[in-house]
Amino acid sequence: MPKFGELIYTQEEAPQQVISKAETHTPKIEAPDVVKKGEPFEVRVKVGPHEMKLNHSIRYVELWFYEEGRPYNPVKLATIVWEPEYTEAEGSVKIALKKSGTLYAIVYCNLHGLWEARKEIKVQE
């Protein structure tokens, strides 16, 4: 039985049977590389182009943050839910960080499973 983390695909690591889906399923994270400590900034996540039909769609994205030096990681920052037929697979949230770390976006496609992207963010005083 695989560990849950082994069920999450990335553009770098996907089994041969799903590698062709990487371009349309891997989330794209838009966020600054460097931010000021405690200052809010926008994080945008997009998936696709991907159809948003009832039988095949991206249903949600979860944003997680692995904070450097924190004893228990990661921290869940947000969940954005998309309704097939009515929405597109993109959204944004504002966050404020105190320490540098890695932002993770995990999206769920009802046919092709979980897909992950990550982005390092440096925090300056």
pLDDT band at 6 (very low <50, low <70, confident <90, very high): confident
Q: Provide the token pair at 103.
A: 């932002």
Q: Are 65 and 33 in contact (CB under 8 A)?
A: no
- Residue 17 pLDDT: 66
- CATH topology classification for 4-124: Immunoglobulin-like (2.60.40)
pTM: 0.92
Q: Residues 113, 90, 104, 15: is their CA dihedral positive or negative?
A: positive
Whether the per-residue pLDDT at 11 is higher than 90: the answer is: no
pLDDT band at 22 (very low <50, low <70, confident <90, very high): confident
Whether the per-residue pLDDT at 14 is higher than 90: the answer is: no
Q: What's the rounded Cα separation, in Å, for the pair 91 and 60?
A: 10
Q: Where are the domains of the chain?
A: 4-124
**pLDDT single digits (tens) 62-96:** 999 999 999 999 999 999 999 999 999 999 999 99
How high does pLDDT run on average in the chain? 94
H/E stretch holding 103 reads strand 101-109
Q: What's the rounded Cα separation, in Å, for the pair 55 and 106?
A: 20
